[in-house]
Amino acid sequence: MNGFLFDENLPSKIQFTPSFSIIHVSILGDSPSDTQIWQYAKEKDLVIVTKDADFSDRLMLYLSPPKVVHLRFGNLRKSEFHSFLARVWPQIEDLVIDNKLINVYLDQIEAFK
C-alpha cells in the first residue's frame, strides 16, 4: 500500500499527520468518474477513502480491487470531522493492512477480509 486516495466528498487537506500519504482525487481533474478513481487507486496501490457506497459495492465484484475505507456517518462540522478522523485514523491504518474493506461509523469500526 502506497497511501490513501480521498474521494471528492472529503476535504482535500486534513489536520493530522497520517503514517501514509494522502492524495485527493482532485489531482485527477474536475469530477473524475468512479471508474477513473478506482483505476487510479488500483494502479498506484492506494486505498480509497470515501463516503460513497458505490465503492463498497464495486469492491464485491472484482477479484483484485483496491482497498476501501467507507466512512459511514452523516455530515459533521469540519472541526468535528477532523477531530474524529484523527482519533480513529491509527486504527484504520492498522486494519487496512489485512482487510479489503473498512467501514467506519461514529461508534464502531468494522473490517472485512
- 101 - beta bridge partners? 68, 112
38-89 confidence digits (pLDDT tens): 999 999 999 999 999 999 888 888 767 899 999 999 889 999 999 999 999 9
Q: Which residues contact 97 (CB under 8 A, 6 or more apart)?
A: 1
pLDDT digits (tens, 9 = 90+) for 8-29: 989 888 888 899 999 999 999 9
Helix ranges, 7-102 (H): 34-44, 53-59, 78-96
**Main-chain phi, psi angles of 87, to 5 degrees:** -70, -40
User: What whole-number distance in Å separates Cα of residue 106 and Cα of residue 73?
Assistant: 6
Query: What is the end-to-end Cα distance of the chain in Å, rounded?
Result: 15
Q: SS3 of 2, please?
A: coil
Does the pLDDT of residue 31 top 80, yes or no? yes
User: Where are the chain's structural domains?
Assistant: 3-112
**What is the DSSP-derived secondary structure letter of residue 5?**
E
